[in-house]
Amino acid sequence: MTKLDEVGAWIRDRLPTLLAEHGVPAAGVAVLAEGEVVDAAAGVLSTATEVAATPDSLFQIGSITKVWTATLVMQLVDEGLVALEDPVSRHLPGLTLADESAARTLTVRQLLSHTAGFEGDVFTDTGRGDDALERYVAGLGDVAQLFPPGEQFSYNNAGYCVLGRLVEVLRGKPFDECLAERLFAPLGLTHAAASPYEAIVHRVAVGHVRPEPDAAEVPAPMWAMARSNAPAGSMLSMRARDLLAFARMHLEAGKAADGSSVLDAGTVAAMQERQVDLPDIRVMGDAWGLGWEVFDGQGTPVIGHDGNTIGQASFLRVLPERGIAVVLLTNGGDPYGLYRDVVGHVLRELADVQLRALPVPPVDPPRVDATRYAGTYSSRVADLVVSQDDDGRIWLEMRPKDIALEMGEQPERSELVSFAPDTLIPVQAQSGLHVPFAFLGDDGAGRARFMHIGRAVPRAGA
């Protein structure tokens, strides 16, 4: 029995128990090592129907889709149809943002590396037609520029929708068709779907959410977000093995299983190169490449991406120098705890790689003066209000709005404590995760200009 066989046997044996421990209804797992693949699944795809998960079951991969979108863009680069330093407006002359100068000058590279600088959490539903993405991009004219293009990292869903529209325009086809023709077909994928209409012919996982903070999880009231956000991760679903086939192409210098070229070898390498460092919030990568997250401190290069949709979470980790990749797809509960148990075990056994510990609040955090942090930070999806009471305790009020309210987000109040210089962390975890809040910059009055939680959220009125 090979080491991979042992890992596969462990997953099949332990997965049902781990699902129960973490309250995850179902999961699919696939692992690649030494050119061989093992996969497994357990649980139920919906607690309402109790349909059993199988290795061929489809889960939404969420924002892992962004690496697929980046791959489609890099195919255009390979063909000489676009260059990374091109202003996007050269190919999308109708692109408008609130900052006209930024709209004219931001580049393809900046969109791919999340450094374009405009507000990224824009989830406008422009319908289900083939023009959804075109209409979405046409509606970005009032989207604020948070900082000059290239200045810093701020995770940008809207930027990837712009990239998806770039693909549509240069290919002359809807984004879904580009995915199918340029990636599904050459990779030989049989259980991947770019829309609910394709997914429904397979066994498909449903996300699970809590209607109230203390309530039990129930099947989500909707399966997917708007089609307009498909290039950012609102639609794409597949079985774990098919996602692994995509990762394998990136491990094998852009070659598909049949030897055909999907990407140039140099392009594959370029996508993995560090483009921008992230604030030290420790729940995302340490840096970003062209689509890929880059993780430091593992003893070997590690790239990947995570994804979250409505009650579903996905994880992809790739070790380019070791020929190893692992996929975990889930549909509720505590996916991060399951990730640490399953992906952590796989990487330890196959590569002697230890996952970095997730951030947790200190046992005895020092009291800090929160004057620099206090105030309201505002985005399209929520207002985040930081305050400090007379006892010196720091509080965060999250007030969802617009699409977040429509999706069932509820106002929350949580306590924050000191975690690192200019960084606070919640006392209570959400979905098994304590996400630190980094406070960056200066508004001219000694207060932080941004709250950074993977995306830069500006101080209101700054």
Give me the active site residues, please: 63
Contacts of 97 (CB under 8 A, 6+ apart): 103, 118, 140, 141, 143, 145
The answer to whether the Cα torsion of 217, 306, 244, 174 is positive or negative is positive
Sheet containing 423-426: order of strands: 375-378, 382-388, 394-400, 412-420, 423-426, 437-440, 450-452, 456-458
Name residue 418's beta-bridge partners: 424
SS3 306: strand
Q: Strand pairing partners for 87?
A: 107
Dihedral over alpha carbons 29, 34, 35, 40 (to 10 degrees): -20
Three-state SS at 227? helix
Q: Which neighbouring-strand residues pair with 382?
A: 400
Residue closest to 388 by CA, chosen among 374, 402, 401, 377: 374
The dihedral sign for the CA sequence 321, 303, 243, 160: negative
Residues 76, 170: contact at Cβ < 8 Å? yes
Rounded Cα gap, residues 48 and 71, in angstroms = 37
Evaluated on CA atoms 441, 446, 452, 455, the torsion sign reads negative
